[in-house]
Chains A and B, each alone.
Chain A
Amino acid sequence: MTIQVSININGETVSRDIEPRQLLVHFIRDTPGLTGTHWGCDTSNCGACVVLMDGKPVKSCTTLAAMCEGHELRTVESLERNGELDPVQQGFHELHALQCGFCTPGMLMTSRALLDENPNPTEQEIRIAISGAICRCTGYKNIVAAVQWAAQHEAGARQEV
């Protein structure tokens, strides 16, 4: 049996006939141009597959695509706008918050969701927020610093406006 599923991804509706068992991570990655979401441990432990569903981070390897119809998804591809990196991306760049980069899409989306909800998190709040995302290269220190960098720059940008 296949069913038709339509999901709003990064503001565009993607419709496809799929088997109900298709996981969200594969639905996203099968969409042209959207391979930024990484498919990692497949067991909801590593967090590489995190995307935002109605603004909240979820693990797309443990969500059925069919369950997402009628919801708005954001993937890592939505962060850069008009050629400008999101402050979280810029922070990761400035502070060397990645080495191999495999965990980065999930880290970026998890951090983006944190800052959307809590623009001025403490170091402990950042560490708790990313505790569902595993990085095997950096030891998290630079990732935490990158999120702090983004928070500071966003606060600065808000003041200028």
Chain B
Amino acid sequence: MQTPAPFEYERATSVEGAIEALQRLGSEARVIAGGHSLLPMMKLRLANPEHLIDINDLHELSYIREEDYEVRIGALTRHVELERSDLLTLRFPIFRDAEEVIADPVVRNRGTIGGSLCQADAAEDLSAVCSALKASVVIRGPQGERVVGLDEFYIGPFTTAVGEGELLTEIRVPLRPGAGNAHEKVERRAGDWAVAAASAALWTEGGTIAEAGVALSAVGPTTVQCTRAEELLRGKAPSEELFAQAGEIASEDCSPVADGRGPVDYKRHLAGVLTKRALRRAAARAQHQED
């Protein structure tokens, strides 16, 4: 029987209360929301928190809304809500692309976007999505809020910029004209983690790529932001050749390891192909927006 090691449990009734508890309990405390990453790790003794702060009652952290030229998503918003959001499907269809292949529908009823990002598993899909979209996150602590870009969020495997006594409360995705975005993933079977996955986001102006985001899952120690591929894309007109070149760069710039999901050369190959496909779909969607 797999059961977590003993811990003490408390249920937060407010965001302030959760932060106060995290402050009081220090490094031995962890936040639990959906629990579908944390509890398996606790069963395997890969995580051994002495205290769990349950934030499932903090309904004020569950929303998807447009505000100040951003789409703002509360940290407790569940995968199923991201998958079915009309606002996200309209503005950032990349979320639905990813959600349809994250675990399975029953798991998606529980897991949350905040939990996915804070887990900081390099194979997790939403981290690549948010990185490609140049999103930022709001981290709240006893001294107030700070906003951190996704490019500074991941410090290492399973480690983020969220410090002791802090809580990730919101994800902000900037709204800019001419946006197109897509996520492509290859998995061994329905609901598995990615062998490799690629997120691509383009913002076009008059037929030229004004800004680009490319990020990869499962092919490095953390989510891989492909800055060289992004530089290549900026200022150019979308084309198959360009996307193939960006794919080659992505394939070179990732650092997969061999495991049960495949050898290194296969994963590099996938990273390239999936980057190209994601860019192609992102460009088609951007074109559709501009028309």
A pairs with B: yes
Residues of A contacting B35 in the complex (Cβ-Cβ under 8 angstroms): 62-64, 67
Answer yes or no: A58 CB below 8 A from chain B CBs. Answer: yes
User: Quick one: given A44-B40, A62-B36, A67-B56, are A132 and B107 in contact (CB under 8 Å)?
Assistant: yes
Q: How far is the CB of B284 from chain A (nearest CB, A)?
A: 23
Complex interface: chain A residues within 8 A of B9 (CB): 3, 20, 64, 66
Nearest-CB residue, chain A, relative to B9: A20
- CB neighbours (8 Å) of B107 from chain A are 44, 59, 62, 132
Closest to A71 in B: B56
Nearest-CB distance from B123 to chain A (Å)?
15
Q: Are B104 and A132 in contact (CB under 8 A)?
A: yes
Compute how far the CA of A132 lies from the CA of B80 in the bound complex, rounded to whole angstroms.
14
Q: Which residue of chain B has the shortest Cβ distance to A133 in the bound complex?
A: B106
The answer to whether B56 touches A132 (Cβ under 8 A) is no
Q: Does B4 contact A (CB under 8 A)?
A: yes
B190 and A58 within 8 A (CB): no
The yes or no answer to A19 lying at the interface (CB within 8 A) is yes
Report whether A21 and B191 are in contact in the complex, using a CB–CB cutoff of 8 Å. no
Categorize the interface residue count of chain B. Answer: 20 to 34
Interface 1/0 per residue, B1-20 and A, CB below 8 Å: 11111111101000000000
Q: Tell me, rounded to whole Å, the shortest Cβ–Cβ distance linking A41 to chain B.
A: 9
Determine the residue in chain B with the shortest Cβ distance to A110.
B106
Residues on the B chain within 8 Å of A64, using CB? 9, 32, 35, 39, 52, 54
Main secondary structure of the interface of A (DSSP, over half): mixed
Is A145 engaged at the interface, CB distance under 8 Å to the other chain?
Answer: no
Which one of A1, A42, A58, A129 lies within 8 Å of B110 (CB-CB)?
A: A58
* Interface 0/1 of B45-57, CB less than 8 Å to A: 0000000101010
CB contact between A56 and one of B1, B3, B5, B109 (< 8 Å): that residue: B109
Which residues of B sit under 8 angstroms from A58, Cβ to Cβ? Answer: 106, 109-110
Bound CA span A64–B39, Å: 9
Chain B's closest residue to A56 (CB) is B109
In the complex the two chains form, is B7's CB within 8 Å of A57's CB?
no
Is A131 part of the contact surface with B, judged by Cβ < 8 Å? Answer: yes
Which residue on B lies nearest to A66, using beta carbons?
A: B9
Residues of the B chain whose Cβ atoms lie less than 8 Å from the Cβ of A22 = 3
CB of A128 within 8 A of chain B? yes
- Complex Cα gap A59–B34 (Å): 11
Cβ B109 vs Cβ A131 within 8 A? no
Partner of A62, one of B1, B40, B54, B191: B40
Using Cβ atoms and an 8 Å threshold, which residues of chain A touch B36? 44, 59, 62
A128 partner, pick from B8, B39, B105, beta carbons under 8 A: B105
List residues of A (51-110) whose CB comes within 8 Å of B's CBs: 56-59, 62-64, 66-67, 110
A43 contacts chain B at the CB level, 8 A cutoff? yes
Q: Given A56-B109, A58-B110, are A67 and B54 also a contact pair (CB < 8 Å)? A: yes
Contact B7 A20 (CB under 8 A): yes
Q: How far is the CA of A62 from the CA of B36 in the complex (A)?
A: 6
Q: Determine the chain B residues whose CB is within 8 A of the CB of A131 once the complex forms.
A: 104-105, 190-191
The verdict on A150 contacting chain B, using a C-beta distance below 8 Å, is: no
Please judge, given known A-B contacts A62-B36, A62-B40, A132-B104, whether A57 and B109 are in contact too, CB under 8 Å: yes
B188 close to chain A: CB less than 8 A = no
Q: Determine if A21 and B7 form an interchain contact, defined as CB atoms under 8 angstroms apart.
A: yes
Determine whether the beta carbon of B105 is less than 8 Å from that of A1. Answer: no
| B interface with A by C-beta (< 8 Å) | 1-9, 11, 32, 35-36, 39-40, 43, 52, 54, 56, 103-107, 109-110, 190-191
Give 9 closest A-B pairs by Cβ, nearest first.
A132-B104, A20-B9, A132-B106, A42-B2, A21-B4, A57-B106, A131-B190, A56-B109, A131-B104
